[in-house]
Amino acid sequence: MSSPRNPSTGFWITVALVAVLVGYPLSFGPAMWFVGRGHLHRKIVERAYWPVLCVFPPHKIRWFGEMWLPRGKHLLLDVMAPDGIPYSIPFDGR
């Protein structure tokens, strides 16, 4: 009988990398949930999710963020683009 093959270190590095690359952008929604309920300050989200806010198109990030906000909650995230131009993304809870 042959013994089952154990996953290599490369396999686990790949799993961890995929988890971070998928999990980090998806964690933006729960962060908006915490901000919308007053458990987290919006400045923390602006800084922690700066790459997500700059990379994804504003209409897509708004759609995803607004799903997590309470109905009637309004939030404005200020973002500094990589080229140094500041802009704001408004979120309105659905």
| pLDDT, position 77 | 96
- Residue 22 to residue 59: CA distance in whole angstroms: 19
| pLDDT, position 1 | 53
Cα–Cα distance list, 21 to 28, 31, 52, 83 (Å): 12, 16, 11, 23
Domain boundaries, the chain: 39-94
- Where the chain has pLDDT below 70, the residues are 1-3
Identify whether the C-beta of residue 84 lies closer than 8 Å to the C-beta of residue 90.
Answer: no
pTM: 0.84
